Structure 1
Amino acid sequence: MTIRNLLLATVASLGLAGAAQAHFQLAYTADTLIETPGDIPVKLIFWHPFENGHVMDMGEPQEVFAVHRGDRIDLMDRLAPITFTGTSNAAAAYETSVPVKRSGDYVLVVVPAPYFEESEDIYIQQLTKSYLNRNEMPTDWDQPQGLATEILPLVKPTNVVVGSTFTGQVLSEGKPVAGAEIEIEFMAAEPDMESNAPKPATAAPMPGGMIVAISDANGYFTFGIPRAGHWGFAALGTGPQTEFEGKELSQDAVIWIRAWDME
């Protein structure tokens, strides 16, 4: 058990549930299925979106890019700082945009600067992927992006059906990670793209705290999707880098998917 997980378990045992809620790096777009070509706005926020809780200050990301038909589109020159104001505080965040032109998948990747979590005395770096698609043409969603750690989806992440399951494989330097702890988060409060503040939450935090899954011997995990919206999965401490500036680093793999009700 890492120091991070040990501290979270201690906090939970003391009944301080709010302090044990999960950090999640967002790479959020209001729409994931794109019909009209153009620049699609993206908000990069380090937040607790399930309970619409505390927002963490982001440093300038190390990398922000999209992958389309195997080609990398650098988005750093589109990056701009913003302030995101949650219900309890305001914090530094970023916005950018993805130029969506041709049909196919656009895999959005964010490699944030490590964040120092003072309460745990460690750094956290969540390497994050989210997905856009134009015209229902699959091109890139099922391919790894060569990150230090990442979750490879085995179900198309832009249109998962409510009541079905999502399966992912946790990778570290391209190899499966057995026994990884995966925190699962519903984005109950979505960011408002205009005001840089959260919309009203549509769900309450789960009784019993964070939903957690464990990857099997080949790095796979499966979760049944109970409702429509954005779902995040964070594999904790699965990256190869374990130290930053003399302190422990939890290098996490994060993936966001979009689930829909059948009509």
Structure 2
Amino acid sequence: MPRRNAPLLAAAALALSAAPACAHFQEILPSADVLPEGGAVTLDLTFTHPFEGGPVMEMARPAAVGMLAGGEKTDLLPALTATPKEGKSAWGVSVDLPEPGGAVFWVTPQPYWEPAEGKYIVHYAKVVVDSWASGAGWEAMVGLPVEIRPLTRPTGLWVGNAFSGVVMKAGAPVPFAEVEVELVNTAGIAAPNEAFVTQVITADAHGTFSYTMPFAGWWGFAALTEADRPMLSPEGREVPVEEGALIWVQATAPGR
């Protein structure tokens, strides 16, 4: 190979290594965040890249799917149905909410091996649905290993509202946690460049963060932490585990 090509190849390799990795988000998206007269809600569970609309990643049958409402937990795994997307496994579940109050839905996925990053990913994701627009029950915590405690009611939010929360791990705030934010980009908003795809926040010393949502749609907040224990890769070596605490919030534009 001619020596004059070596600097070009080195520059290309450096550019590839510096390119941002696509952010993975575990979606658990309901058909509505508020049910004005109660009724049924359907939730879609997909492991994907929300802003870019994919690609969808394989999502094994979750380890747990549940609902917390009125102080009681309900196991939703028996009601889970397969809803493949782009040839990859995804899931769905429908639940009736006849009584007023907030219902917190959550999913604990199976660990996902990401060879490009050399680690497993486990994103504990949740979303709140408010039956009968009660405004109650949204602050209830599931008790996940890592979880976002909402400080803003995560339902009935306008575009331009700020959402605030606290990153929690084992019941304690996580100082200076990194929080990735992405929009489920169903409107086809064009990002000026890759820096706009995933917004990044650092929580403060008390684990608190805030973000103002500029567009209508579902927004995912993913607080990323490293698990206390590694796992064995498919090759049998110890690798880190990314534990994400996710919460999904919908911003609504006036007139919708």
Query: Is the partner of 2:78 in helix, strand or coil?
Result: helix
Q: Which runs of 5+ in 2 are unaligned?
A: 1-12, 233-237
RMSD (Å), alpha carbons: 2.0
- Report the CA distance shift for 1:132/1:233 in structure 2 as closer, same or farther (over 3 A): same
2:144 aligned partner, one-letter code: L
CA drift at 1:159:
1.5
Question: Which residue of 1 is the match for residue 35 of structure 2?
Answer: 34
Match of 1:244 among 231, 237, 252: 231
CA distance in 2, matches of 1:50, 1:12: 25
User: 1:30 deviation in Å?
Assistant: 2.1
Q: Partners of 2:156 and 2:38 in 1: how far apart? A: 19
Q: 1:197 is matched with which residue?
A: none
Which of these residues, 131, 135, 139, is aligned with residue 138 of structure 1?
Answer: 135
For 1:13 and 1:255, locate their aligned partners in 2 and report how far apart those are by CA, in whole Å.
Answer: 32
CA distance in 2, matches of 1:29, 1:146: 21
Q: TM-score normalized by structure 2?
A: 0.86
Question: For 1:155-234, what aligned pairs fall within 5 Å after superposition?
Answer: 155-189=152-186, 201-205=187-191, 207=193, 208-209=195-196, 210-234=198-222
Alignment match, 2:8: none
Q: CA deviation at 1:231?
A: 0.5
- CA drift at 1:248: 1.2
Look up the SS of the partner of 1:14 in the other structure: helix
C-alpha separation between the residues in 2 aligned to 1:254 and 1:107? 12
- In structure 2, the CA distance between the partners of 1:219 and 1:123, relative to structure 1 (3 Å rule), is same
Provide the TM-score with structure 1 as the length reference.
Answer: 0.83
Deviation, 1:181, is 0.7
Following superposition, the deviation at residue 37 of structure 1 comes to 3.9
Give the aligned partner of residue 16 of structure 2. 14
1:166 deviates by 0.9
Match of 1:194 in 2: none
Match of 2:235 in 1: none
User: 1:12 deviation in Å?
Assistant: 9.5
SS of 1:83's equivalent in the other structure is coil
* Aligned residue in 1 for 2:5: none
What residue number does 1:193 align with?
Answer: none
Residue identity over aligned pairs, in percent, reads: 33
Structure 1 counterpart of 2:217, which letter? G
Structure 1 partner of 2:223: 235
- Give CA-to-partner distance per residue, 1:32-74, whole Å, 9 cap, x none: 1113444322111000110112111011111100111111111
Matched AA of 1:226? P
Higher CA-based Rg: 2
CA contact (8 A) 2:37 2:132 kept: no
Alpha-carbon separation, structure 1, partners of 2:166 and 2:15: 30
5+ long unaligned stretches in structure 1: 1-10, 190-200
